[in-house]
Structure 1
Amino acid sequence: MGDAEQMWITVVPPLEDGGDDEAELVLIGIDPTSGDPGQQLVDVLLDRGHEGEEGVFYLLPFDLGVRYERDGDRLAVVLLTSPEVYDHMISQYRQDLAEAGAPLRDAPLVEDGVVLLRREIATDFDPATGTGDQPVVLLLQDGPAAEAELFSAFDAGEAALAVVGTWGEDE
């Protein structure tokens, strides 16, 4: 499956509060078993979370963030981390990814961040809200997801959801 097949604009039922207003969100599939170092690094970064309430983990603002880009009818989502977090993560947690991820670290920074992943699709969906860009929801599961089965793995406890806020928030 290509990147476009791992990005959806959809309602995310596990995040709904039961209200009548079902908001569409940007959902990105992340496969930690993929050979893509960006996906592997996103998975490792999510393990850096700090537990708040039981089962809810929070990342610091520059551990992982999202940036939206629009080019005509194409919406792109870019997942970023700070160079310091990237360097620490590689040296402390996943030295085996250092070589595979070197092109990510060596690429030009975007808004002072290392680009881990970029996905885009054709859509007229606008993720901007009155308070800025909305977060992105990551669906982490082994293997690529299919839209028809997006949340069944989560319901079965075989996948996890993570909400990632806008890059540069709460600087």
Structure 2
Amino acid sequence: MLFSAGVASLIMDKFGRKFLLISSGLLTGVVLLIMAIYFHLKNLDFDVIHVSWIPAVCVMAYAATFKLGLGLVPIVITAEIFPTTVKAIGMTLADTVYVIAAAISINIYYVLYRNFGIHVPFYMFTACSFLMAIFTAIWIPETKGKTLDEIQLMLKGKKAVAAKESSEPNISARY
């Protein structure tokens, strides 16, 4: 995870926050799907002894792919979208939501595992990862290289170019 966080920090400004979020969502989804299939086959009494290494590799791959985007980029975006006057409150609320969501996901895992088998929560979290990638592709704006004013305009559904144009004097109006 430390290595992934370092790599993400180095490439975030080159590829952008949105790219890392989508990539991380898709990659974690693939890793979780492999785990779900493995445990599903194991529960169906398939012989998985020859591939018993899959869970260990998937846990490491999940940690790396999660930290590459989903574990780091939301913190950066949260810091970028709040004005300095409310940044502390906004980031505190975002962290609170993150902790609550983590606690809920642990409880969901436990309930699904106990009632339906170990593979079911992995299928559900696979779907969540893929849906998060789709959500990011459609609704999350790219904040790389944008000013706070440009980000605020994007969040309001306006183009940042319009703000630049409106702030420039209209030369033709003078003549």
TM-score, length-normalised on structure 1? 0.23
Comparing both chains, which one has the higher relative contact order based on Cα–Cα distances under 8 Å and sequence gaps of 6 or more?
A: 2
Mark the structure with the bigger radius of gyration.
2
